[in-house]
Each structure stands twice: as C-alpha cells, then as structure tokens.
C-alpha cells in the first residue's frame, strides 16, 4: 500500500501491500501496526484515510457465519515467476509482470502483486491463523479483487521457502525477484473453494473497493519459514473489523 500513483500501481511498481489505481495513502505518510500510529489512528493519516475510522465495509473480518451460494469458479491464469521483490517497511511484496489474470464471472482482473501478513488478518470462527497471503488484482474499471490464502505450519512449500531465503530483511529498493518464485505454487491444486464478501483495503486509506475472495483451505508452509518471516515482521496484521450487515458467501 503506497498510493496515488495509478500508473505505477497498474504496472506493479508501487511499493505497497495493496497497490492499485483506486488511490492509496500519500507517499511518506507514517502509519504502523502498533503504537501511536497504529490501526486505531489510521483515520487520521490524511483526508482519504478517514474511511479507516468511519467506513462500514472495512476489512479484514472474522467469518463466523456464511451462506452457501453458486459462486463462479476462480479462473487463475498466472505466469510462473514474479517480476520484482521489495521490503517496503510493512511487508514483503512481490510485484507481478504483465499477462497475469484472474476471472470469477467477470474480469479479467490483472495480478498486480502479492504479499504476506503475520499473523493472518482474517479469522474463521474466531480462529486466527499463523499467516496470510494476499494476491492483489485490479480491473480496468479500478475495482480490486484480492485472493487471500490462509497459511498454517506443515510440509514445506518450495515457493514460500524461496521467498524467505531471498527476501530483503531491511526496508529498501525494489530488486529483481528470484526466477524460481512461482505464485501458482502458493495455491492448492484443483478447484478453489472460497468465501466472498465486499470489503476494503486493510491498510490506509482503507478504500472500500475490494472484492475479497478468501480461500477456505489453508496452504501449508514450513514452520521455520514462518518464523523467519516473523523475525522481520513480528506483527503486520490489522485487527478484525465489524461485519455490519454484509453477507459472506461461500462457494458450494
């Protein structure tokens, strides 16, 4: 998330956890995940971020109940590598090149970037998971769609392991990503069941322009790799927000 540069966002160059053409917090503004600039103060970052405090469709949420529905399948067409990688001070982000798309009954949405949170931002039935990955897509209209994958300790995931071994451990410039980092390797094979609900960016300016597509089945990664990520980002997750009157749908 870094934020008003629509052109950079659409080319995957913006240095932010959720980059897209819909607008983000002003470059250089200070926000954190704790302390005096933490989530309860994000509404004061700038005028555009006021919605962080007053919005009615904020994310993430705790999914306590859902409605089964005939949701369209997620049609993911990603290439087999990432373009660049950056530690932007809030997360490890990998920017995608051109030609990576997502469709789910509408689209295509272009994959801009993917990044990680520790612990998970979404909860399921009050349960928080060790980590969460977000794959951020933008439609030509400016709408966003984020495929989210919860992460648990289990057998090693070769792609995530490669990200961990090559990630910049200090905030800095964007660099070329390792060619072995294939985003497809971070998703379960076969049909992807998911929850769907309307929400927002999970960082300032918290714009309510996101269609959330949270996969129901977590992915397994090595516990040691999650520990290595936590050594760089001990906590980079926004607290759960009020669901209000939103319906959460679940694919059948």
DSSP per position, 77-137: E--SS-SEEEE-SS-EEEE--SS-EEESSS-PEEEEEEEEESS-SSEETTEEPSEEEEEEE
State the fold for domain 6-251.
Carbonic Anhydrase II (3.10.200)
Give domain limits for the chain. Answer: 6-251
* Per-residue model confidence (pLDDT) at position 28: 54
Nearest CA-CA partner of 208 in 184, 181, 244, 154: 244
Bond from prior residue into 108 cis (ω within 30 degrees of 0): yes
From the list 90, 115, 118, 134, the catalytic residue is 90
Instruction: Report the C-alpha gap between 147 and 10 in whole angstroms.
Output: 17
Whole-model pTM: value is 0.90
Round to whole Å and give the CA distance between 127 and 124.
5
What Å distances lie between residue 73 and 63, 130, 184, 190, 222, CA to CA? 20, 27, 16, 11, 29
Alpha carbon distance 7, 180 (integer Å): 27
Spell out where the chain has E strands.
Answer: 62-63, 67-69, 75-77, 84-87, 92-95, 101-103, 109-117, 123-124, 127-128, 131-138, 144-153, 175-176, 194-199, 210-215, 219-221, 249-251
Q: CB–CB of 131/221 below 8 Å? A: yes
Decide if 90 is catalytic: yes
Q: Mean pLDDT per segment of 10 residues, for the chain of length 252 residues?
A: 34 38 49 96 95 98 97 96 97 96 91 98 98 97 96 98 98 96 92 96 97 97 98 98 97 90
């Amino acid at each position: 998330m870094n934020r008003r540069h629509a052109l950079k966002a659409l080319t995957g160059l913006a240095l932010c956890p959720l980059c897209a053409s819909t607008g983000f917090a002003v470059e250089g503004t200070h926000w954190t995940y704790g302390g005096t600039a933490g989530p309860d103060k994000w509404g004061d970052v700038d005028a555009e971020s006021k919605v962080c405090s007053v919005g009615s469709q904020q994310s993430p949420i705790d999914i306590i109940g859902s409605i089964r529905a005939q949701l369209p399948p997620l049609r993911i067409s990603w290439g087999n590598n990432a373009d660049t990688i950056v530690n932007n001070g809030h997360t490890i982000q990998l920017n995608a090149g051109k030609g990576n798309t997502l469709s789910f009954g509408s689209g295509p949405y272009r994959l801009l970037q993917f990044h990680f949170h520790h612990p998970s931002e979404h909860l399921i039935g009050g349960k928080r998971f060790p980590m969460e990955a977000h794959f951020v897509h933008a439609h030509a209209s400016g709408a966003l769609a984020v495929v989210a994958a919860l992460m648990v300790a289990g057998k090693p995931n070769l792609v995530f392991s490669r990200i961990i071994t090559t990630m910049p451990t200090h905030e800095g410039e964007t660099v070329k990503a390792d060619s072995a980092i294939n985003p497809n390797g971070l998703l379960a094979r076969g049909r992807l069941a998911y929850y769907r609900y309307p929400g927002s960016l999970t960082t300032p300016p918290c714009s309510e322009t996101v269609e959330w597509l949270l996969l129901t089945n977590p992915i397994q990664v090595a516990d040691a790799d999650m520990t290595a990520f936590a050594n760089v980002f001990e906590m980079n997750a926004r607290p759960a927000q009020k669901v209000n009157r939103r319906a959460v749908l679940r694919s059948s």
